[in-house]
Amino acid sequence: MSEDVLKDINQFLTFTLGKEIFALDIGTVREVLELTSITKIPRTPEFMRGVINLRGHAVPVVDMRQKLGMSKSEDTVDTCIIIVEIEFDGEFTVMGALVDSVREVFEMTPDTIEPAPKMGAAINAEYIRGMGRQNEQFIIIIDINKIFSAEELAMARELTNLKGGKADKNAPAEEAVAATA
């Protein structure tokens, strides 16, 4: 393969939410974790599942099903947390994305990715980077940098900064709320 062709190949981490297949640019993914204990933070949006302790740091976890307007489901042995790095206004925020299962890293060239479909004003497809195909199934490619509002990312940064950036699993929930208020 020529060097030009290699530059145009994009790698995506594919995952499932229900029966749908989604993908994230592998460049935004730090790691994939098995489901672990998530500490719920009071007075946060329903899609914000809480925080996890990742090597001594509090990392907010978002239920991607709820964030994308899908129904909530029970966690299973396949449920995973994808640790992603989101860039907004030149700042990076680390978050966990709770998904039903992680499938594989999949390569797609730009010419195999179609633009996001136009679905009218009722559906916000701004965060859909495009549609890919794997065999006969569509893959919805998400732009993780556009899925969260500035307010949601600010809240995530506040949750990350609980106890000075360190997750304190012994701290009462009231202290966590006071830190975000």
- Per-residue pLDDT tens digits for 106-137: 998 888 888 877 765 445 678 888 999 888 88
- pLDDT for position 7: 55
- pLDDT for position 158: 84
Tokens of 107: 């390569």
125 within a domain of the structure (yes/no): yes
Give the closest residue to 72 by CA, choosing from 141, 7, 17, 28: 17
- pLDDT for position 8: 63
Distance of CA 141 to the CA centre of its chain: 12
181 within a domain of the structure (yes/no): no
Contact 126, 109 (CB under 8 A): no
Give the total number of structural domains in the chain. 1
- Per-residue pLDDT tens digits for 144-164: 988 888 888 888 888 877 644
- pLDDT for position 104: 94
123 within a domain of the structure (yes/no): yes
Residue written as tokens 């989604």?
Answer: 22
Residue 13 pLDDT exceeds 60:
yes
Tokens of 49: 């599942």
- Per-residue pLDDT tens digits for 25-50: 999 999 999 999 999 999 899 999 99
Residue 16 pLDDT exceeds 90:
yes
- pLDDT for position 149: 82
Contact 21, 15 (CB under 8 A): yes
Residue 165 pLDDT exceeds 70:
no
Q: Structure pTM?
A: 0.81
Residue 5 pLDDT exceeds 70:
no
180 within a domain of the structure (yes/no): no
- Per-residue pLDDT tens digits for 73-105: 999 999 999 999 998 878 889 999 999 999 999
> Domain containing 25 — which CATH number?
2.40.50.180
43 within a domain of the structure (yes/no): yes
- pLDDT for position 133: 85
178 within a domain of the structure (yes/no): no
Whole-number average pLDDT of the chain: 81
95 within a domain of the structure (yes/no): yes
Residue 166 pLDDT exceeds 50:
no
Domain encompassing residue 30: 3-172
